[in-house]
Amino acid sequence: MYRDPVSASPSPAAAPAAQRPLRVGMIGIGTVGGGTFRVLARNQAEIAARAGRAIEVTMVAARDLERAAGIVGAGVQLTRDPLQLATHPDIDVVVEVAGGTGPALDWALAAIAHGKHLVTANKALLALHGDAIFEAARQHGVAVAYEGAVAVSIPIVKALREGLTANRIAWVAGIVNGTTNFILSRMRDDGLDFGTALAQAQALGYAEADPSFDIDGTDAAHKMALLAANAFGTPVPFDAVQVEGIRTLQVLDMACAAQLGHRIKLLGIARRQPDGLELRVQPALVPDTQLLAHVDGSMNGIVVCGDASGVTMYYGAGAGSEPTASAVIADLVDVARLAGTQAAQRVPHRGFHAHAMRALPVLPRAAVSSARYLRVPLHRASDAEPLGRWLAAQGLVPRKAALAQLPEGTGAQWLVLTGPATQAHVDGLLDQLQRHPAVAGAVTALHVEPLDA
Amino acid sequence: MYRDPVSASPSPAAAPAAQRPLRVGMIGIGTVGGGTFRVLARNQAEIAARAGRAIEVTMVAARDLERAAGIVGAGVQLTRDPLQLATHPDIDVVVEVAGGTGPALDWALAAIAHGKHLVTANKALLALHGDAIFEAARQHGVAVAYEGAVAVSIPIVKALREGLTANRIAWVAGIVNGTTNFILSRMRDDGLDFGTALAQAQALGYAEADPSFDIDGTDAAHKMALLAANAFGTPVPFDAVQVEGIRTLQVLDMACAAQLGHRIKLLGIARRQPDGLELRVQPALVPDTQLLAHVDGSMNGIVVCGDASGVTMYYGAGAGSEPTASAVIADLVDVARLAGTQAAQRVPHRGFHAHAMRALPVLPRAAVSSARYLRVPLHRASDAEPLGRWLAAQGLVPRKAALAQLPEGTGAQWLVLTGPATQAHVDGLLDQLQRHPAVAGAVTALHVEPLDA
């Protein structure tokens, strides 16, 4: 049994023999980097009390050294060369918060090859190159920590990798993009159309000038791929995620979903099925009896269903400098606590030890089965009933159906919640339904996720 | 930089040089112990893939050896003597899931003194004797893990101790007792009175034959004391928790709270104040705009507010054999990953390193300030307005007031939400209010917790 010489000291309140500070090099000092520096400075005593040693940013790589100096002040070495920082002998941990994937991969691999631990909030980097990075880190015996890359301040990687390790995970469902959740909340609560809600999100700083990454679901897909790896012990399956964004969502469907007791969310789903993984990011209806349906505004929420734990849920900010810094610094504290022990190696980067990981096939879109919401514009309201019988005869049984309660003149809209059917089956049916003589306009079809345990 | 010889091996998929299994001795094989054994067996391959080694229950201490043998089968050594197990040389970790505080303390200290790591789901033991146990463990360089003692399957100790370490925590608010939350949900949703809801909880196995521990708030106080220690770096302050249970709650107040947009929950609050800690377990009104208000049935939910993270919330089962086993086994995986390294010592038991902990004073009840809900039976509805002016003149300003919308013949009930005031001030005022000539019956006063970030 290992005994720390300090622990056996007679005075229980004595400070441990001073471990030298953990020396951090930061690549990038923008929104997340600046927040990390600020929180580390503000809470330094409390953080050291938790970590068992001081955590000091000793070097920063930035493009604009003058701006960087204005943020970090004197006493921090500055460089324009991230590679110099990543390989510098006086750095223990590299915090990569610059973003991007090409150069960032070089920096990450250089840092690892030089025996540095790596903390990053770069979801794109890990979604695309995570497996290579994790394998390099494993071979060099260093930690790669990335809580800030998944759900901002929510410790969900830690929950999956360490908190739920008893479980065979059945599924993970998440609202993991604050921008789109803000937009959808505005559409629902204020009746705004997509474009207006997006403009509002941009004005408030919740959306970028080019919002494609968020609204097309790419960002959420990055995060779901990382969650899937941790939940199921599979290499990061980003390439296989089926992604639909929210550009074409109509505010009318928000109201119609509400009438059926549901809310529309951009939902990531990673679910174990007998033949492989279901893995997709799509706008979906969630019953408003589920707590996840009430994750509104720019907040994030993730539900995990395990065979022993049952359902657990994790909720927190979906954006922000200091919330992301909270996760980055928690990773630094983990490193500070474990660096120099074998433990940095013993908590595997993706929850499972490398030798036990298996590449699980991701089910193709056509094979994925789910319940559906349909909104069908009708020439006459009385066409609803025969159309319901027609749908049932095609094997898509209406579980709940209603005519939309809409202002006069909007035309009859038939709303249906169906039982589960494969995407292939539904695709074929939608084609026929669209050409049905009773149908007066474009049919809208969305997934429904009951999220039952 | 430490390098695991295995990591440098040429084949990335090679299994690590077999670490021998972690040998677990369990004291108690009841609901939690049986669930732990069952889940360890069912998910053994997945758990080993996560832990990096097998986790094997090799010895069980139980009163009824025949019953125990029926559960664990052959191949597990059985004993009637927990102390023999706790000190046995062939055991690496002792899992204490027998409950109680007297003998359990002896077993815990014996195990620690013999260099065993300790995993326990025994909240009473840690609330009463945690500081002694943690200090002994620190001196002997072993881990004490207790996720299962706080919020069943929710990894909240891990979140506070590791996931939110960047933060100065402002407050923790929790629904941490599944029994009382079930009872309150039945009262609210089905209009049952307390006694009927309790009987239903007992019939369904959510409440014990003697339910005092749950309904008087003691169990929640145990858990809040452990959360407070982890949030604020203070020794476990169980003795100082102000506790009120739910025995006297009236179903009428459920409806009246709903009319004001609130739900009544048995809420634990641990909040940092300038002069010390606010620490209490009380029935309280939570605005239904807060996600925590929607934690219903036997579920648990905990909200943590940190200065960097903002608000995060954690939600999951509030009772159950396998949900608790999920937490116990996660602790075992932590031990399996870290045992034999210095790391077992480097993640401090209460989140903060012992030398940096400070005993924070807990504010006396009289000094605690909060907003209030008052329900005042009136002789005449028209008395409400002058009574509002009288209250305001006494310094308890009504923020919102209404006459209860109740069936005919129930009498006028004036409902008030006040601004914050100290308990001392409110106590004095309630005395006067009760004797006011306009008041027709017993005044009900409950705390209101807005839970603003």
Which of B359, B373, B414 has the alpha carbon at shortest distance from B267?
Answer: B373
Do residues A266 and A326 share a domain? Answer: no
Query: Is there a domain that residue B11 lies in?
Result: no
Does A4 score more than 70 pLDDT?
A: no
How sure is the predictor about A17, in pLDDT bands with cuts at 50, 70 and 90?
low
Task: Using CA coordinates, name the residue in chain B closest to A296.
Answer: B291
Does A414 score more than 90 pLDDT?
A: yes
Which range marks the domain in which residue B401 is found?
Answer: 368-448
Least confident of A81-90, A336-345, B54-63, B301-310: A336-345
Do residues B137 and B255 share a domain? Answer: no
Do residues B294 and B374 share a domain? Answer: no
Which candidate from A153, A306, A348 shows the least CB-CB separation from B309? A153
**What CATH number corresponds to the domain at position B194?**
3.30.360.10
Do residues A30 and A54 share a domain? Answer: yes
Q: Which residues of B touch A355 (CB under 8 A)?
A: 13-16
Mutate which of A50, A138, A150, A302 to disrupt the B interface (most B C-beta within 10 Å)? A50
Alpha-carbon gap, residue B410 to A153, rounded angstroms: 48
Q: Could you tell me the two tokens for A315? A: 């909720």
- Per-residue pLDDT, averaged over A435-443, amounts to 96
CB contact residues (below 8 A), chain A span 313-332, against chain B: 313-317, 320, 322-323, 325-330
Do residues A84 and A167 share a domain? Answer: no
Task: Using CA coordinates, name the residue in chain A closest to B320.
Answer: A309
Q: Which residues of A touch B12 (CB under 8 A)?
A: 135, 138-139, 354
The number of residues in chain A equals 453
Note the pTM of the prediction, 2 decimals.
Answer: 0.95
Task: Using CA coordinates, name the residue in chain B closest to A89.
Answer: B1
Do residues A165 and A312 share a domain? Answer: yes
Contact (CB<8Å) A326/B164 = yes
Which candidate from B3, B141, B153 shows the least CB-CB separation from A2? B141
Q: Could you tell me the two tokens for B136? A: 């002994």
Query: Is there a domain that residue B15 lies in?
Result: no
Sorted by sequence, the CB contacts under 8 Å of residue B233 that are 6+ apart come out as A46, A49, A50, B350, B351, B352, B356, B357, B358
Q: Which residues of A touch B7 (CB under 8 A)?
A: 138-141, 345
Sorted by sequence, the CB contacts under 8 Å of residue A242 that are 6+ apart come out as A279, A280, A281, A282, A365, A368
CB contact residues (below 8 A), chain B span 364-393, against chain A: none
Q: What is the pLDDT of residues A117-145, one digit of tens each?
A: 999 999 999 999 999 999 999 999 999 99
Angle between helices A218-232 and A123-140 (to 10 degrees): 30
Q: Which residues of B touch A44 (CB under 8 A)?
A: none
Alpha-carbon gap, residue B149 to A27, rounded angstroms: 40
Do residues A145 and A48 share a domain? Answer: yes
Q: Which residues of B touch A153 (CB under 8 A)?
A: 164, 306, 308-310, 312
Calculate the CA dihedral of residues A230, A234, A236, A240 and round it to 10 degrees. Answer: -120
Alpha-carbon gap, residue B337 to A325, rounded angstroms: 27
Residues of B with a known catalytic role: 223
CB contact residues (below 8 A), chain B span 402-441, against chain A: none
A49 interface with B at CB cutoff 8 Å: yes
Q: What is the DSSP string of B36-62?
A: HHHHHHHTHHHHHHHHSS-EEEEEEE-
pLDDT score, position B38? 98
Rounded to a whole number of angstroms, the CA Rg of chain B reads 25
**What CATH number corresponds to the domain at position B96?**
3.40.50.720
Asked whether the beta carbons of B166 and A34 are under 8 A apart, the reply is: no
| Structural domain ending residue among the three candidates B356, B379, B410 | B356
Do residues A160 and A210 share a domain? Answer: yes
CB contact residues (below 8 A), chain B span 228-287, against chain A: 233
How sure is the predictor about A345, in pLDDT bands with cuts at 50, 70 and 90?
low
Contact (CB<8Å) A47/B166 = yes
Query: Is there a domain that residue B1 lies in?
Result: no
A1 interface with B at CB cutoff 8 Å: yes
Question: How confident is the prediction along chain B (453 residues), in pLDDT tens digits per residue?
Answer: 333 333 333 334 445 556 899 999 999 999 999 999 999 999 999 999 999 999 999 999 999 999 999 999 999 999 999 999 999 999 999 999 999 999 999 999 999 999 999 999 999 999 999 999 999 999 999 999 999 999 999 999 999 999 999 999 999 999 999 999 999 999 999 999 999 999 999 999 999 999 999 999 999 999 999 999 999 999 999 999 999 999 999 999 999 999 999 999 999 999 999 999 999 999 999 999 999 999 999 999 999 999 999 999 999 999 999 999 999 999 999 999 987 766 666 788 889 998 888 999 999 999 999 999 999 999 999 999 999 999 999 999 999 999 998 877 778 999 999 999 999 999 999 999 999 999 999 999 999 999 987
pLDDT score, position B8? 35
CB burial class (10 A; 0-12, 13-18, 19+) of residue A218?
Answer: buried
Contact (CB<8Å) B12/A163 = no
Q: Which amino acid is at A213?
A: F
Asked whether the beta carbons of A56 and A23 are under 8 A apart, the reply is: yes
Q: Where are the alpha helices (DSSP H) in A204-304?
A: 212-215, 218-232, 251-259
Task: Using CA coordinates, name the residue in chain A closest to B322.
Answer: A308
Which candidate from B47, B49, B312 shows the least CB-CB separation from A154? B312
Catalytic residue among A116, A158, A223, A265: A223
Q: Which amino acid is at A390?
A: W
| CA atoms within 13 Å, Cβ hemisphere of A73 | 5
Q: How many CB atoms lie within 10 A of CB A428?
A: 12
- Is A123 considered catalytic here? no
Does A10 score more than 80 pLDDT?
A: no
Coil, strand or helix at A287: strand
Alpha-carbon gap, residue B448 to B285, rounded angstroms: 5
Do residues B143 and B213 share a domain? Answer: no
* Range from A153-167, A345-359, B398-412 that averages highest in pLDDT: A153-167
Asked whether the beta carbons of A334 and A143 are under 8 A apart, the reply is: yes
Asked whether the beta carbons of B151 and B323 are under 8 A apart, the reply is: no
E-state strands within B5-121: 22-27, 55-61, 77-79, 93-96, 117-120
Which candidate from A1, A8, A135 shows the least CB-CB separation from B139? A8
Longest Cα–Cα distance of chain B, Å, equals 88
- Number of domain units in chain A: 3
Do residues A160 and A295 share a domain? Answer: yes
A288 interface with B at CB cutoff 8 Å: no
* Distance to chain B for A428, nearest Cα, Å: 39
Query: Is there a domain that residue B8 lies in?
Result: no
Do residues B48 and B196 share a domain? Answer: no
Query: Is there a domain that residue A293 lies in?
Result: yes
Q: Could you tell me the two tokens for A387? A: 């159309």
Query: Is there a domain that residue A15 lies in?
Result: no
Contact (CB<8Å) A155/B153 = no
Q: Which residues of A touch B143 (CB under 8 A)?
A: none
Query: B8 or A225: whose pLDDT is higher?
Result: A225
Do residues A61 and A210 share a domain? Answer: no
Query: Is there a domain that residue A12 lies in?
Result: no
Which of A414, A418, A370 has the alpha carbon at shortest distance from A394?
Answer: A418
Task: Using CA coordinates, name the residue in chain B closest to A137.
Answer: B7
Contact (CB<8Å) A294/B294 = yes
Task: Using CA coordinates, name the residue in chain B closest to A152.
Answer: B309
Query: Is there a domain that residue B14 lies in?
Result: no
Contact (CB<8Å) B142/A345 = no
Q: Which residues of B touch A351 (CB under 8 A)?
A: 50
- Which ipTM did the prediction report? 0.94
B344 interface with A at CB cutoff 8 Å: yes
